[in-house]
Amino acid sequence: MMSDLPQNPSFQFDLAKIHSSPLLNCVDFNSELDSTNNRALELSKDSSIKTPCLVLTPKQNAGRGRGVNQWWSSEGSLTFSLIINPRDLNLSVETWPKISLTAGLAVCETVRALNHDLSLGLKWPNDVFLNGKKLSGLLIETAQNQPERLVIGIGININNSLKNAPEEIRAIATSLTDEINQNLDMTDFLLNLIHQLLEAWKSLTIAESMVIESWRRYCILTDRKITVTTGTEQLSGDCLGIADDGALLIKSEAGTQSIYSGVIDQFI
Ligand code: BTN
């Protein structure tokens, strides 16, 4: 039977291995989706769905980014969402704002395990950079009527070269294959990342200071001049790094401010 999946094995997943992973209590694989987050938000409404639940597709055709942004995915990119119940992971409500930064940290650690010399960084609050360009984006959302559940959407450019991407994307983004010149096993990468995510979130409860220290080590904005938009306000100043509670610290003429959510427009 003809499959509508790409034929290159490096673009495919070993579904048997994913289904048998002890890390997951539910796997929802779709050969094509608009957005894994859309699908995960829909599934989250069903209280019988067991978490952590993986929603995976090798072909996402309308990936969403933060705000009005879109996420460009091509064959060989990893796009998935994980539905979690923070309470099951012993994550108290106070830790919720830190879940996303910690997820970015797990992406950094998973990539670093492939090659310790890679120049990886976290761009607060949701991006992972490699060699100065965006490698991965995260979109965290809450399911309607299911406030107990979080959807963690992650896109990472793995085996998809950006050489054929639109110019505006090529200018700001990169992929692992473009940087390390090798194709990776997508299943192993995915399962390693899910393991790292669950471990990193566990550390938020039992070893928070280590997690905070790691955010700070990876933060690429520290000591740079940045401009951030929060709601309707734009603020420029020197970035002093990330506070213990996950806020970004900006020093401007008005003093030092803690930013809890926003979009970084510029950093130099
Ligand atoms: C951003 O950079 O603004 C966030 C990008 C998040 C993209 C991922 S891909 C998997 C998941 N499904 C989506 O529609 N978006 C996220």
Whole-number Å distance, alpha carbon 64 to ligand 1 midpoint, is 5
Would the pLDDT of 116 be above 50?
yes
Which residue puts its alpha carbon closest to atom 2 of ligand 1? Answer: 137
Residues in the chain: 268
The predicted model scores a pTM of 0.93
Which is higher by pLDDT, 179 or 3?
A: 179
Q: Tell whether the torsion through CA atoms of 69, 73, 77 and 80 is positive or negative.
A: positive
Domain covering 9-218 assigned CATH 3.30.930.10 in the classification? yes
Whole-number Å distance, alpha carbon 185 to ligand 1 midpoint, is 21
CATH of domain 225-267: 2.30.30.100
Q: Tell whether the torsion through CA atoms of 249, 254, 260 and 265 is positive or negative.
A: negative
pLDDT of residue 11: 53
66 lines ligand 1 (CB under 6 A): yes
pLDDT of residue 141: 94
Note the pLDDT tens digit of each residue in 223-244.
999 999 988 889 999 999 999 9
pLDDT of residue 23: 98
* Matching fold, domains 9-218 and 225-267: no
The answer to whether the beta carbons of residues 178 and 161 sit under 8 Å apart is: yes
Note the pLDDT tens digit of each residue in 179-217.
999 999 999 999 999 999 999 999 999 999 999 999 999
Among 43, 74, 79, name the best residue to mutate to test ligand 1's pocket (greatest count of ligand atoms within 8 A of Cβ): 79
Among 64, 156, 174, 265, name the best residue to mutate to test ligand 1's pocket (greatest count of ligand atoms within 8 A of Cβ): 64
pLDDT of residue 92: 84
153 lines ligand 1 (CB under 6 A): yes
The answer to whether the beta carbons of residues 83 and 53 sit under 8 Å apart is: yes
129 lines ligand 1 (CB under 6 A): no
Would the pLDDT of 41 be above 90?
yes
Domain regions of the chain by residue span = 9-218, 225-267
Would the pLDDT of 9 be above 60?
no
- Alpha-carbon distance of 29 to 48, in angstroms, equals 17
Note the pLDDT tens digit of each residue in 166-178.
999 999 999 999 9
pLDDT of residue 29: 96
Would the pLDDT of 8 be above 60?
no
Whole-number Å distance, alpha carbon 168 to ligand 1 midpoint, is 17
Comparing C-alpha atoms, which of 89, 133, 100, 139 is closest to residue 242? 100
pLDDT of residue 216: 95
- Alpha-carbon distance of 183 to 149, in angstroms, equals 34
- Peptide bond before 86: cis, by omega within 30 degrees of 0? no
Among 30, 32, 33, 37, name the best residue to mutate to test ligand 1's pocket (greatest count of ligand atoms within 8 A of Cβ): 37
pLDDT of residue 96: 78
